[in-house]
Amino acid sequence: MKPNTHEYARFLDRVAIDDTGGCWAWQGSINKWTGYAQYWCPRRRKLMAAHRWMYQFHNPSPTLSRHDFIMHTCDVKHCVNPTHLCLGNHMENMEDMRRKKRARNNPTGRKGHLTADQVREIRQSGMPRVALARKFGISYQQVYKILNRVIYRDVL
């Protein structure tokens, strides 16, 4: 069921629209764990991903299941530009992630990837794991794995 124009106007009040065709930046709530934009849908009485809501508004015919993914062609989590959104499934989403070098097992594209010098500094510092984790913006479990050469084995 397509939302009404009043609901669409309410949604757009939280969007910074780029008229040049770029990303439409969500100005509302952002999920602190995933980084995705989120929108309180009053008609459904639930919080939902803003990009998913926008896709459903512009593509009302397909009924989305929880297994359907709305993928960002721009890779900006808070973008709600309908021209940047496309329907996919889990496999397509993972392939898109690998193709764009955003996979966690891809050191060259991974967020939070440490340089060889940083890994050496962690191994030689003698600081507590929690302090190292804070300093480098990683988890203390990651520090443990670095110290015990579970990850970054190739760095001497």
DSSP sequence for 111-144:
TTPPPHHHHHHHHHH---HHHHHHHHTS-HHHHH
| Residue type (1 letter), 24 | W
In a domain, 111, yes or no: no
How does DSSP classify residue 107?
Answer: T
Say if 104 falls within a structural domain: no
* Assigned domain for 28 exists: yes
Residues 6 or more apart whose Cβ sits within 8 Å of residue 29: 37, 38, 39, 40, 47
13 with 88, same domain: the answer is yes
> Could you read off the pLDDT of 95-123 as tens digits, one per residue?
888 888 776 654 444 445 788 899 999 99
Question: Which letter does DSSP use for residue 145 in this model?
Answer: H
How many domains does the chain fold into?
Answer: 2
Is residue 51 within a helix (H) or strand (E), and if so which, with residue range?
helix 50-58
Please check whether residue 52 lies inside any domain of the structure. yes
Among 31, 37, 32, 34, smallest CA distance to 14 is for: 37
Q: Could you list the residue range(s) of the whole structural domain that residue 129 is in?
A: 116-147
In a domain, 56, yes or no: yes
Instruction: Give pLDDT tens digits along the chain (156 positions).
Output: 456 788 888 999 999 998 888 899 999 999 888 889 999 988 778 899 999 999 999 988 767 888 899 999 998 889 999 999 999 999 999 888 888 877 665 444 444 578 889 999 999 998 998 889 888 888 888 899 999 988 888 888
In a domain, 105, yes or no: no
Query: Is the residue at 106 inside a domain?
Result: no
For the full predicted model, state whether its pTM sits above 0.85: no
